[in-house]
Chains A and B, each alone.
Chain A
C-alpha cells in the first residue's frame, strides 16, 4: 500500500463518523424533506405528489402562514438590533479597569446562560401576567397595566423583550473585541481633539465591525429559529390571536399537531431559503461597512 492510500485511510478513519453522520442524519433527511415538500403526506398514508401546491398555498391561501412569517420578521429585525445594541453599549461600559467589572460581566451574562431554558420561559410568562411584576412596575410609574396575554402585539413584544434580555453572550464577544483595539488609537485621537462620538464612529465601530458581522449573522439565524419561548409562553398555542406564532412554532404545529408533513417540509425549505438570502445579504453588505485590518484600511 502506498503512502497516499495510507494517508487517505487514516484521514477517513478519523473523519469517518462525520461523513457517516452527515449522510444518515443530514443529507438523506434533506433530500427526503425536499421530496416531501412536493407531496401531501400525513405520516400514516404514503406521500402523494402534488407538485407546487404546498408552496402556492403558503403564499396565496394560508393567511396564518403569512402572519407567522410577518411576526417572525418583526421578531428578528427588531429583536436582533436591539440585542446587539445593548450588548455593545454594556460592553463599552464594562471596558474599564474597575475591579468590579468581573462581577458585572457575570451578572450581565447570566440571563444568556439560562435564557434558553423552560424555567426562564415560565418565569417570563409569570412576570408579564396581569398581576405580574412588570405591570406592577408600570403601575408604580403611573402607566396603565398592559394585558400582555390579551393583545397579540403586546405578546410579541414580550417575546422580543425576552430575546433582548439575553444580550450577555454577544456582550462578552464585543468585550473581547474592544479589548483587542490598541489603546494608542484612542490616545492619538484624543491628542487630535476628537470627541467621544468621533472616536466611537471612527475607531470603535470600524475596529469592531468583523465581530459585529459575525454576531449579526449568528443571531439572525438563531432568532429566525426561535422555538422554546414561543412554545412555552403561549402554552403551545401561538396565541393570543397567533401573536406569538413564530415560524418554527407554526411549522411544528403543522407537522406534529395537524400531521401536514408535506406542508411543514415545504415551510422548512422556505425557511432555509430565507435564512440563506438573509445571510448572503448581510455578507454582501459587509464590504461597505466591515473593516479588516490586513487590507490596510479603506
Chain B
C-alpha cells in the first residue's frame, strides 16, 4: 500500500472509530430497548438483542395510571407549538425594531437585552413561581408558554444580526412606494429572514422539547405531564427490572429530535457555526 493511502486509512480508522465509540452508548440504548428487560444487564456486552422483542414499547406506551405515553407526547407537542408561535412572532417584531428603527432609548434596551442573555434563570425562578402562583396559573401551560410571547434574547440577537445583513435600500424603496413601517417588516423583511426564522424554530423546538425544570416547577397533575417529566417518572418508579420500558420510551422521546435534525441539518449546523447557539 502506498504511504498516502496508508495515512488516509489510519485517519479514517482513528476519526471514524472514535465517532462510533462516542455514539456507542446511544446504539446500546436503542438495542437494549428491544431486549427482554431481565436480559438487558445480563447481556449488556452483546449489542444485538436475542430474542428481538417489541414488548417494551407496548408496555412503556401504556404510561402511568390512565395516561398513555401518547398523552405526554401530545402535551409536549402543544407546549412546543405555543412556544414556537410565540418566539417566531415576538422575536421577529422585536428584532426588526432593534435592527431597523431609530428611537430614543434603543441602545439602552439593546444593552439590557444582551445582559439578560447572561442572567441565570435561578435568579428569577422563585419570584416567577410566586407571581404565577398568585395569578392562579400553576398546573397549567401558561407559565411555560406566556413568557415566549415577549421575546427570547438569544433569538432576538440572532435575528438582529441577520436583518443587519439585508441592504437598507430595500426598506427605503418600499417606503417610497408607500409602505408604512409595519408593511416594511411584514412584506420586505419577514420573507427575507426565513433562514434565521427556521434556525429560531428548530432551536426553540429542541430546547422546549427537552425542558425539564419548567414543567417540574409548574405542572403537577399527570394528565399534563410532558415527555421529559414522564421519563423522570419512569425513573422514580424504577423498581425491579423495568428498564426495558424506560429505555423504549427514552428512544421514543429522541425520535422527533433526530427527525428534525436530519431534515434541517443545514440550518442547525449554520446556526451553531455562525451564531454560537448552544446545541
Q: Which residues of A, 1-58, contact B by the 8 Å Cβ criterion?
A: 7-8, 10-15, 17-22, 24-26, 28-30, 32-33, 36, 43
Chain B nearest CB from A118 CB (Å) reads: 4
Cα A57 to Cα B276 with chains together (Å): 39
B-contacting 9-mer, from A64-72, A99-107, A183-191: A99-107
Within 8 A of A (CB), among B119-137: 119-128, 130-131
Q: Which residues of A contact B106 (CB under 8 A)?
A: 11, 15
In the complex, which residues of chain B have a beta carbon less than 8 angstroms from the beta carbon of A19?
109
Closest to A23 in B: B150
Whether B29 and A123, one on each chain, are in contact in the complex, defined by CB atoms closer than 8 angstroms, is yes
Interface bits B230-254 vs A (CB < 8 Å: 1, else 0): 0110111000000100110011011
Q: Which residues of B contact A265 (CB under 8 A)?
A: 126-127
> A74 contacts the other chain (Cβ, under 8 Å)?
no
Interface size class of B (residues with CB under 8 A): 35 or more
Q: How many residues of A contact B (CB 8 A)?
A: 92
Q: Tell whether A104 pairs with B15 under 8 Å between CB atoms, given A11-B103, A28-B127.
A: yes
In contact, B126 and A12 (Cβ under 8 angstroms) = no
A255 at the A/B interface (Cβ < 8 Å)?
yes
- Cα of A235 to Cα of B239 in the assembled complex, Å: 13
User: In the bound complex, what is the Cα–Cα distance between A248 and B126 (angstroms)?
Assistant: 13
* A203 touches B (CB below 8 Å): no
Q: Which among B28, B121, B231, B279 is the interface contact of A133 at CB below 8 angstroms? A: B28
Which of A108-127 touch B at CB < 8 Å? 108-114, 116-120, 122-127
A114 touches B243 (CB 8 A): no
Q: A118-B232, A172-B279 are in contact. Are A22 and B112 (CB under 8 A)?
A: yes
Q: Does B98 count as interface, using CB distance less than 8 angstroms?
A: yes
- Check B101 against A10 for contact (C-beta < 8 Å): yes
Q: What is the distance, in angstroms, from B98's C-beta to the closest C-beta of chain A?
A: 6
Contact of B45 among A136, A221, A236 (CB under 8 A): A136
Q: Are A33 and B25 in contact (CB under 8 A)?
A: no
Q: Which residue of A lies closest to B246 (CB)?
A: A122
A176 with B126: in contact, given A18-B94, A22-B116, A118-B210 (CB under 8 Å)?
Answer: no
Q: Is residue A129 within 8 Å, beta carbon to beta carbon, of the partner chain?
A: yes
Rounded to whole angstroms, the CA-CA distance of A109 and B266 in the bound complex is: 13
Residues of A within 8 A of B213 (CB): 227-228, 252
Question: Are B26 and A123 within 8 A (Cβ)?
Answer: yes
Are B23 and A111 in contact (CB-based, < 8 A)? Answer: yes
Contacting A at CB under 8 A, from B129-154, are 130-131, 147, 149-151
16 A-B contact pairs sorted by A residue (CB < 8 Å)? A18-B113, A105-B269, A113-B261, A118-B253, A122-B247, A132-B44, A133-B28, A165-B22, A176-B273, A218-B276, A221-B118, A228-B212, A232-B212, A232-B232, A232-B235, A268-B120
Known: A100-B12, A272-B119. 18 other contacts (CB 8 A): A12-B97, A14-B93, A19-B109, A20-B150, A21-B149, A29-B126, A96-B11, A105-B269, A107-B20, A116-B206, A123-B29, A172-B272, A173-B276, A224-B120, A225-B122, A227-B212, A268-B122, A268-B125
Return the 10 tightest CB-CB contacts between A and B, nearest first.
Answer: A21-B150, A11-B103, A14-B97, A29-B127, A176-B273, A119-B250, A169-B279, A29-B124, A32-B127, A107-B19
